[in-house]
Amino acid sequence: MPAKPFIDLSTIDFDNLIVDRDGIYALNPHRHEFMLLDGIVHMSPEKKVIVGYRDVKEDEFWIRGHIPGRPLFPGVLMIEAAAQLVSYFALRLQDRTDFLGFAGVTDVKFRGTVTVGDRLVMLGKMLELRDRRCVGDTQGYVNGQQVYQGRIIGMWL
């Protein structure tokens, strides 16, 4: 059974972009094909919750090879998008500029598919922010249905 969303998605105004792509990647070092977030629409430092999204387009680099004729957004890219979301949030909450590297992932479950034309809504909830590492639970939704969940672990390098 899917975990309950960290926040009621019906309360999020997806027309109210609070951080655009340029703002995300002013902190996150990813570039080119690995800029996997398109925007952030909610941040609550008090509740340690963040909401962002990725609009899956028909010209993505993985389309040709990840199930020709039926392209599916790869699960590993869902994990990467989730890691970028909690990484951005950790950098903002800690007001740090050093590199937050990927240190692990646990409890991942894929519950549905993400295809061309979908908006993958990513939720993050920070569980731990320490000097050496941070941990965040993450969830992904398409059309209100959970398609992904997992715990992301990062280490400051």
- Among 30, 32, 42, 66, which one carries the catalytic annotation? 66
DSSP state of 119: E
DSSP state of 11: G
**Phi, psi dihedrals of residue 59, rounded to the nearest 5°:** -105, 20
Which residues 6+ apart lie within 8 Å of 70 measured at CB?
Answer: 115
- Residue 6 CA to residue 138 CA, distance in Å, equals 9
**Contact between 62 and 71 (Cβ < 8 Å):** yes
Is 66 a known active-site residue? Answer: yes
- Residue 130 CA to residue 119 CA, distance in Å, equals 32
Q: Show which residues are catalytic.
A: 66
